[in-house]
Structure 1
Amino acid sequence: MTGGALGRTPGSLYGDVSQKNSDGKRTARERLQEQRLKDEAKDRRRRGMIAGVVVLAVLGAGAGVAALVANSGGKKETPAGPAVPPQGALGKGGSTIPVGKPAARATLTVYEDFRCPACALFENAYRETIHDLEDEGKLRTDYHIVTLIDKNLGGKGSLTAANAAACAQDAGKFSAYHDVLYKNQPPETNDAFAATSRLYELAGQVPGLNTPGFQKCVDDGTHDSWVQQSHEAFRKLKLKATPTVLLNGKSIYGDPAHPLTSAKLREMTVAAGKEH
């Protein structure tokens, strides 16, 4: 911070008194204080210069972590070929993978990236509650898969994992594979999901998924263009973070002043169903 209260030196408080006289009267403690303030200001400027486009913010107790803030105005990526939505995808361009009963009166809309650590923390914290509400017919979850971390940190794990998840949707096993990916998410800077062998290994944890057809879908990148299209739709919506979580269109996650809990999620879902 420059130009504010912290940037003023003790000598500036003496008005018209000359700098020479002020220096003469200044105690050793005052000089040390001045130097400390200068050092703090320099450190703040340095931190501001190196701040990246991704920030992981920790929320209060019960809230887990905040969303991964991102620069969603990045360069548009040209799809490699026609977008092929996975089977059962809904919405414009088949952008939505639904989980739960279609007749559910409340809809949870989630924008996620399989490499995003904040997304994993959200999923691992609320997975059981979300699945219970889905099983009870109270909630349908609409997933939109994006590739934010690939764009910000490089690599292709977000894309490769998203395509694999779409391949799992073709096999009717998206939800189970989605959960396995988040339970086994590598560190953010480790692009382990770029390796198809790792994606096959994790598919082995979902009964009946790791078939030759699934592996061919992953190898061929069958849904890569669809994933890129999904990310472009996210960018055009000017959403700023993953996960972005909406309940019947209203944001419910990422506000430190109103941390989400499993009990609150259930309560809000029931209330949203009654209002629908």
Structure 2
Amino acid sequence: MSEKNRDRKRTARERLAVEREKQKAAERRRRTLIVAASVVGVLGLAAIIGVVAANAGKDDGGDSAGPVVAPSGAQGKDALAIPVGKESARSTLTVWEDFRCPACKSFEDTYRSTIHELTDAGKLKVEYHLASIIDGNMGGSGSRTAANAAACAQDVGKFPAYHDVLYENQPQETDDAFADDDKLFELAGKVDGLVTPAFRTCVEEGTHDSWVEKSNQAFTGGGFTGTPTVLFNGKNIYQDQTMTPAKLKKMVEEADQG
């Protein structure tokens, strides 16, 4: 074979080798691009799913909370107070309570008859604010569901009687019995005319749940130390160790005389 032929064959082999390397390099780039595109696609899909999930979570949260529906006749800022007594009364007792709170039951048992006497006489107006701090402290939902049921009773003018029945039959603090609608209906049966289809629907659907939650937020944001918190014409009297039903009655009567 002539030298010229060998040179041509060598040159051809070299060109072929170079072309093969080019093809291999192109194939590597193609594979790299495919992998990169796949990663970007997965990350993009994950991001989209994350956004959708986040938005779905926000929507669910809003829907589950439901609208804030104040009970009939509720008064005060954001309609968070349930009034008992005559508007013309010269004295106002503001009471923050939780239906699962043992100290609230103690207050009610001690002052109930005096408060009834003064409200019936038109000398005292009571503004009840319902909280649900025991649910947060002990777990469960009985504070909220009982408060909702009490608000449902307010809708039909039966709040004072049902309020008293709930405290008179309060379970142990660790017993979340008020979370059971059937228990709330059983106790409602002690109040003449309360158990109606409208009341049952209101309790079962938690019509005032969001209102109770808003009331509880107002309590926790109000700088109060615990339930019950009892204010007489704006002054905290529950912290007064000398306070008694007789002393409260005297304060109300003195204010009524002007």
Asked if these proteins are the same fold (TM beyond 0.5), I'd say: yes
- The residue that corresponds to 1:72 in the other structure is none
2:118 pairs, out of 127, 133, 136, with 133
1:233 pairs, out of 207, 215, 218, with 218
Amino acid at match of 2:84: V
1:273 paired with 2:233, answer no
- The residue that corresponds to 1:41 in the other structure is none
- The residue that corresponds to 1:123 in the other structure is 108
Amino acid at match of 1:113: D
**CA distance in 2: counterparts of 1:141 and 1:189, whole angstroms:** 28
- The residue that corresponds to 2:79 in the other structure is 94
Residues 190-238 of structure 1: CA deviation (Å, up to 9, x unaligned): 0000000000000000000011110100000000000000000111111
- The residue that corresponds to 1:245 in the other structure is 230
Partner-residue secondary structure (3-state), 1:242: coil
TM-score normalised by L of structure 2 = 0.74
**CA distance in 1: counterparts of 2:78 and 2:180, whole angstroms:** 27
Residues 160-192 of structure 1: CA deviation (Å, up to 9, x unaligned): 000000000001000000000000000000000
1:166 paired with 2:151, answer yes
Superposed structure 1 runs of 4+ greater than 3 Å apart: 272-275
1:254 paired with 2:223, answer no
- The residue that corresponds to 2:191 in the other structure is 206
Q: RMSD across aligned C-alpha pairs, in angstroms?
A: 1.4
Give structure 2 stretches of 5+ with no counterpart.
Answer: 1-60
**CA distance in 2: counterparts of 1:217 and 1:240, whole angstroms:** 31
Summarize the alignment of residues 4-43 of structure 1 with structure 2, pairs less than 5 Å apart: none
Summarize the alignment of residues 62-73 of structure 1 with structure 2, pairs less than 5 Å apart: none
- The residue that corresponds to 2:55 in the other structure is none
- The residue that corresponds to 1:151 in the other structure is 136
Residues 23-44 of structure 1: CA deviation (Å, up to 9, x unaligned): xxxxxxxxxxxxxxxxxxxxxx
1:252 CA displacement: 1.0
1:274 CA displacement: 4.4
- The residue that corresponds to 1:216 in the other structure is 201
1:177 paired with 2:156, answer no
Larger radius of gyration between Structure 1 and Structure 2: 2
Amino acid at match of 1:268: M
Give structure 1 stretches of 5+ with no counterpart.
Answer: 1-76
Contact 1:161 1:199 in 2 (8 A): yes
Partner-residue secondary structure (3-state), 2:65: coil
Contact 1:248 1:272 in 2 (8 A): no
1:271 CA displacement: 2.4
**CA distance in 2: counterparts of 1:262 and 1:229, whole angstroms:** 31
Structure with greater helix share of residues: 2
1:273 CA displacement: 3.4
- The residue that corresponds to 1:192 in the other structure is 177
**CA distance in 2: counterparts of 1:191 and 1:254, whole angstroms:** 28
Residues 109-162 of structure 1: CA deviation (Å, up to 9, x unaligned): 000000000000100111000000001110000000000100111100000000
Amino acid at match of 1:185: Q
How many residues are paired up? 197
